[in-house]
Amino acid sequence: MNTDLREAAKEYLVRYGGDTFPNLFRSAKGTIVTDSDGREYLDFTSGQMCATIGHNHPAIVDAVNRAGQKAFHLFSGMIPEVVVELAQTLARDWLPGDIKRTIFINTGSEASEVALRMAKMYTDGYEVLALGGSWHGITGGASSVSMASDRKGYGVPAPGVFVVPEPNAYRPYIPGATDEQSALATLEIALKMFDMQSAGRGAAIIVEPVISAGGVLVPPRSFMQALRKAADDRGMLLIFDEAQTAFGRIGTRTGSEYFDVVPDIMTMSKTLGGGLPLAAVATTAKIEEVLHERHFTFYTSHVSDPLTAEVGLAVLKVIAQEQLMARAKEMGAYLRGRLEELQQRYEVIGDVRGLGLLLGVELVRDRQSRAPAHELGALTTTKCFENGLSMNIRRRPERGSVWRIAPPLTVSTGEIDRAVDILDKSLRDSLDEMAAKGTA
């Protein structure tokens, strides 16, 4: 490894939180990332959950080259042809219900800002309901409705945010109830609390169809339908944050399709850009007309950029041509089966859950208490990386110790087998090490 660059990283880079590896990295291809020593790792987080069709897919490389022959960037008022092609493709082939008009920006945080801005202007309200365990971004408005990260130390958040307890079948808020009963009962209480406190200025309910950063939680369908009704009853808009659920990862076109609930606004990001910074927000023609009449503005230096639109169009074509939605179901079932085999052998694997190729594995000290195994999770994640497998673990004290496993949709059974073998060895070694220290 280039030790000079490692030292330069320490001297010149701002440390921005999250898991940071000691290595520097050089390249990525498919499901493999390579560090500066030339060592390869299976990437079972698809980068930051973004490389849906694998790192540096040839179609993405070709799209970047095409953009290089035409344009990477234009004045924001000049709408590139490829942006219209992408919007048309989304409306015709991917978006649910009457949702058809889209704005293209760069990141998921930015998409959340657009969606909240739309909802507040359309309703003339400012109050927003968000789920516990949610993650919608790190910018001002987005961070105020994100509950899965540390909220301390950043000043006063945007006013008017109310929390709905997230549905958690493994850790229900109401003991003895079914997951559906618990989810609906806590929602009813949260809505009553909101109605008591509301100034009558409701704007939106924002939700991830699968609550990923909160532990890969899949709500009951009835819960999502109840959110739709709650929004309608209060004159609020329903926003689906589909950063991780759109475009095939869960085996359907969108989370909206899976839950059979159509939101008013849909945000998309990670899975659309295939590793490049592309995000989108889509809504109905009716809502967009009102917003336009009221002079809605989200005019940035990189709105409607042709480079990322070219890539987004390529990603959607690959998903369709290579039938990756069906593959997500097939490979997701295979991966889940392998993980459930481990669960049968290890008492510390309390739960395996998720949809398609977005899976969560929750670690516990024992299945009776369900006490989170934070130390075991951290140690095993480190050993997995040392053995050639990169995974992401969520270690919020109030929500357990959960691996988020989300390989590219192009992952093979052979790669899944290798990853599970590494996980098996790493977990066993971690348990042995903790037992030897008397901390198991």
Question: Which residues participate in catalysis according to the annotation?
Answer: 135, 208, 241, 244, 270, 404
From 320, 206, 292, select the one nearest 255 (Cα to Cα): 206
The DSSP element (H or E) to which 3 belongs, if any, is helix 3-12
Find the radius of gyration of the CA atoms of the chain. Answer: 22
| Amino acid at position 300, single letter | T
Backbone dihedral region of 239: left (phi > 0), alpha (psi from -120 to 50 degrees) or beta? Answer: beta
Question: Rounded to the nearest 5°, which phi and psi values hold at 126?
Answer: -140, -5
| C-alpha to C-alpha distance for 5 and 9, rounded to whole angstroms | 6
Please check whether residue 393 is in contact with residue 404, taking contact to mean a CB–CB distance below 8 angstroms.
yes
Contact 223, 184 (CB under 8 A): yes
- 104: which strand partners? 280
Query: What are the angstrom distances between the C-alpha of 288 and each of 68, 126, 273, 296, 438?
Result: 32, 18, 24, 9, 61
What is the enclosing helix (H) or strand (E) of 411? none
CB 34 within 8 A of CB 256: no
Label residue 50 exposed, middle or buried (CB < 10 Å: 0-12, 13-18, 19+).
buried
As a whole number of angstroms, the distance between CA 440 and CA 434 comes to 5
CB contact at 8 A, 208 and 244: yes
